[in-house]
Amino acid sequence: MRGFDFTCASLTGANLGKTDLRDSYLVQSQAAGVTFEFTDLRNAWLIDANLTEANFYRADLRDCILVRAQAARADFTGADLTGVCIEDWSISSKTQFTNVRCDYIYRKYQNGKPSDRYPINRNFEPGEFASLFAEPEDVVELVFKGDFNISALSFALYKLQTDAPELNLELRGVEQREKLWVAKIKSTNHSLNERLIEERLTSVYQAGNTTVEETIKNSIYRDYEETKQRLTESELLVRQLAGISGSQAEALKELSKRSFGNNFFISGSTITNLAGSGQIEYREAANSIRSLVTNRVDSDSNLQRLLNQLANQNVATSAATQSELIQQVLLTEAKQDHEFRKFLLEQGQQIVNSLPNEEVTIALQSAIDTLQSSS
């Protein structure tokens, strides 16, 4: 079957174990739950493929193109992923990378070829790839193709938060990956599995044409204005996280998939380090950093809390990268908010002198110097 064309094929649940699929095309294929055990997939194209819960046990995926592939709960145990291109792929906390073999990956796909090799001048250490791409246990990624219905997702979250509070759902981020939209949902209810949360949210999302009046009729919240307000707040949150509401969100959208300093990039509304091993929502980081410089009450503990968060989320684990991220956020906020820029220029030096952390002091001073030189 080498070089076979499975483009757009429905393969759900098929057994393709121990098959020679080198140079084959599985572009936009529906391959959820497919068995690829010991399968040779070298140089195969799985762009936009649905690989949810697929089994790649000891499969050979060297130089495979996994651009925008959906691999939630897939099992790559013992597989060889050396040279795979993973731009905008989607995985989950249940995606298995036990004993994976991988020397390097490509993070971009440009002009029909993989690019941006990582690591640049070395190979991964044993276990390094798996540690870089481990997802938080309590976060579920929902992938939506085509037009993204903001109102439908807002309604789905609202309905499940009110009618099924035991799910403990929280929207942590929304980002666009080419033609896909990815919503990151957190649940603190560890007795519920990822698949159940995904199924319940998706089913409500797909029925998102329900009117406000119908919602009120069946809701535990009988007051029209209260329910309407809660729905409005839910939709506003989705729009903000999706980067499509207000001047700041529009500015974020312009930054989508752009570099953010030397060690980070922004995709949608999320700051990610170049290794892809840690991320933080831009708005969350910006709020913490703005609070640090504008509210100097208990600044020491606030600063330490911010640095701990950046380290614990693997976004910026060294003093140098933490300093760079803070500087980049300050400059971005100053560009978007004239009053904040004015505040930094007028009172920045006083704040610099009061901060105890040398790296943060350098970050703030560098931001102020940049703003002054561009004035």
Cβ atoms of residues 120 and 165 within 8 Å = no
Q: Which residues are CB-neighbours of 78 under 8 A, at least 6 positions away?
A: 57, 58, 98, 99, 100, 101
Q: Which residues are CB-neighbours of 264 under 8 A, at least 6 positions away?
A: 271, 272, 273, 274, 315, 316, 321, 324, 325, 328
| Predicted local distance difference test score (pLDDT) of residue 249 | 42
340 is written with which tokens? 């904040």
Q: Boundaries of CATH 2.160.20.80 in the chain?
A: 1-135
List the chain pLDDT tens, one digit each, 375 residues. 788 899 999 998 899 999 999 999 999 999 999 999 999 999 999 999 999 999 999 999 999 999 989 898 899 999 999 999 998 888 877 888 999 999 999 989 988 899 989 888 889 888 888 877 765 556 666 766 666 666 666 667 766 767 667 767 777 667 666 566 777 777 666 655 566 666 766 776 666 544 444 544 444 434 444 545 555 555 565 555 555 444 444 443 443 456 777 788 776 668 888 776 788 888 888 888 888 787 655 667 778 888 888 888 888 888 888 889 999 999 988 888 888 888 888 888 888 887 777 778 888 888 888 888 876
121 is written with which tokens? 């001048």
| Predicted local distance difference test score (pLDDT) of residue 354 | 77
| Predicted local distance difference test score (pLDDT) of residue 78 | 95
| Predicted local distance difference test score (pLDDT) of residue 173 | 67
Residue ranges of alpha helices (H) inside the chain are 128-132, 150-163, 194-206, 212-218, 224-242, 246-254, 282-294, 299-312, 319-336, 338-354, 358-373
| Predicted local distance difference test score (pLDDT) of residue 297 | 57
In terms of pTM, does the model score above 0.95? no
| Predicted local distance difference test score (pLDDT) of residue 32 | 92
* Nearest residue to 47 via CA among 72, 20, 28, 73: 28
Q: Which residues are CB-neighbours of 141 under 8 A, at least 6 positions away?
A: 72, 90, 91, 92, 135, 182, 183, 184, 185
| Predicted local distance difference test score (pLDDT) of residue 69 | 92
What is d(CA 70, CA 76) in angstroms, rounded to the nearest whole number? 13
What is d(CA 53, CA 95) in angstroms, rounded to the nearest whole number? 8
CA atoms within 13 A on the CB side of 221: 18
CA atoms within 13 A on the CB side of 55: 14
What is d(CA 351, CA 361) in angstroms, rounded to the nearest whole number? 9
* Nearest residue to 75 via CA among 62, 88, 61, 87: 61
- Residue at 253: amino acid letter: K
| Predicted local distance difference test score (pLDDT) of residue 284 | 83
| Predicted local distance difference test score (pLDDT) of residue 25 | 94
CATH superfamily, region 1-135: E3 ubiquitin-protein ligase SopA (2.160.20.80)
Cβ atoms of residues 288 and 279 within 8 Å = no
